[in-house]
Structure 1
Amino acid sequence: MARRLKIGDLIEIPTQKGLSYAHYTHKDKVCGQLIFVYKGFYHKRPNNLKEILTKEVQFYTFFPLTSAVNHGDMTFVENIPLVEHEVKFPLFRTGMADPKTKKIEDWWIWDGKNSVRVGTLDNDQKKLPPRGVWNDTLLIKRIEDQWSPDQ
């Protein structure tokens, strides 16, 4: 039976390096489900799942979570209320690459409702993740590579 996910659902993601965890925090009308992925790999499911949410966030991204859970690629674990740093919709960076140079010269910051043109990113803005929806292959690769948005 298909599971209907809710904000606050903690999801277990199997990787080649161990289990990883993501927390479903928001739903956007266009981009879909937003997850916060937490740093760390586990050989087995921790007894204290709330402790995962005290770890550092590796990144956040949009991801078709319901599909992944309903196909059995990822597992719903438990619903845990959002923690303080997850409540406010986070910022994303976005921009269009110049076809000639393949570089983004004109950046925008998106807050879930509005986009603000900033031109060149400052050091803090470079740490924001790119706006987009990832598939499971990219999500797991970035988890395993311990990727962060400023890379």
Structure 2
Amino acid sequence: MTDFTPGDVVEIATDKGRAFVQVTHTHSSYPPVVRALDGVHAARPDDLGPLVSGPTRFVAMIPLDSALDKLGRAHEVVGHVEVPEEQKPFPTFRMPIRDKKGEIVYWWFWDGRGLSYDVELDDAQKALPLREVMTGTRFLDLLVSENI
């Protein structure tokens, strides 16, 4: 098992090429937080800096090593690049709270320290990642998806 640190860039072998993620945060109670970097690549870029400073496809909490090992996906830390300034604050995650019928009653928002809530989501809140430990299969599907 790898002990990831914020800034680690991990290359992941997919059926479509190499995908890259950057570990942005660790939390004592959850798996690492990673941001998926843009694109799937035929080869590892010589300079990871432009890739890391580029867009974030999605953010997830995932036990990266064990999830990818279970899927039989080769992966390795290929560099360490400072987390971009806009990614340094711990991300806020959203979580639906449902009634007995399964209807969403309100939303919790978690910023790594505390909770807040709201009844309706605005557009910015709709874009927040879900507070879930993502499965490896879902993670891999999102990495190679062209539509996120």
TM-score using structure 2 length: 0.87
Secondary structure of 2:38 counterpart: strand
Q: Does 1:107 align with 2:73?
A: no
The 1-side partners of 2:68 and 2:138 are apart by: 16
The 1-side partners of 2:98 and 2:74 are apart by: 33
Secondary structure of 1:4 counterpart: coil
Secondary structure of 1:78 counterpart: strand
Q: Output the amino acid matched with 1:124.
A: A
Q: Which residue of 2 aligns with 1:9?
A: 8
Structure 2: give runs of 5+ residues left out of the alignment.
Answer: none
Q: Which residue of 1 aligns with 2:79?
A: 78
Q: Which residue of 2 aligns with 1:45?
A: 44
CA contact (8 A) 1:68 1:74 kept: no
- Percent identity reads 28
Following superposition, the deviation at residue 69 of structure 1 comes to 6.9
- Report the aligned-residue RMSD: 2.0
TM-score using structure 1 length: 0.86
Q: Which residue of 2 aligns with 1:95?
A: 96
The 2-side partners of 1:124 and 1:52 are apart by: 24
Aligned residues: 146
